[in-house]
Amino acid sequence: QLQGGALMSTQAGDLDNVGGVDLNDAAMLANYLVGNPCSPTCQSRADLNGDGVANGLDIQLMIRLLTGW
């Protein structure tokens, strides 16, 4: 039995579920973080670093994904 773990999607960052990460995913992440609704798939993929919470740290990772840095 798993306790205290976080469920992390293997497609983290692909919030719109179209395959790959792009600016639309970044916009969806920003909207979700300011309180706008997001589908369950979107929510699970918004936690890019897998710490169990979608927050500013995930924005940093999104930028890295988009810039290849």
Rounded Cα–Cα distance for residues 5 and 46 (Å): 16
Binned at pLDDT 50, 70 and 90, residue 69 comes out as confident
Rounded Cα–Cα distance for residues 51 and 19 (Å): 22
Q: Look at residues 28, 7, 8, 6 and name the one whose alpha carbon lies nearest to residue 17.
A: 28
* pTM score of the predicted model: 0.82
Output the pLDDT for position 2.
41
**Interval 19-60: pLDDT, tens:** 999 999 999 999 999 999 999 999 999 999 999 999 999 999
